[in-house]
Amino acid sequence: MKFIIRPTAREDILRQCRYYLVEQDAEDAAERFLEAIQAAIKQLCKHPGIGTPKALQNPALAGLRSWPVKGFSAIRVYYLTSEKMLRIVRVLHGKRDINPMLEDESMDYE
């Protein structure tokens, strides 16, 4: 299955990496995080139905699921699937107020 990382999800990933690099001075954590994201996406491509469904009011996100990033359990990948495509919508830390962020998400651009 092919995948797309949407621009907002790409920004989420970069923001988390910057946090590890700048705030924590932990280059190894940033590298492990990127590897864990890649592994999570690979696993989701193989088994797209394994994530937990996330019910939202936003009709653009009907069918949204989430999956934890191994080794970074508070961080989840939020994604949509279609017959041939996995769309990574967001990658968010669970301590954030994620519902408003997801409710505002638009699927107008890819």
DSSP string, the chain: -EEEE-HHHHHHHHHHHHIIIIIS--HHHHHHHHHHHHHHHHHHHH-GGGSEE---S-GGGTT-EEEEETTEEEEEEEEEE-SSEEEEEEEEETTS-HHHHHHT---S--
- Is 20 within a domain? yes
- Is 28 within a domain? yes
Instruction: Per residue of the chain (110 residues), give pLDDT as tens.
Output: 999 999 999 999 999 999 999 988 899 999 999 999 999 999 999 999 999 999 888 888 999 999 999 999 899 999 999 989 999 999 999 877 787 788 777 665 44
- Is 57 within a domain? yes
- Is 110 within a domain? no
Range of the domain at 83: 2-103
> Into how many domains does the chain fold?
1
Q: What is the phi/psi pair of residue 96, to 5°?
A: -85, 160
CATH number at residue 66: 3.30.2310.20
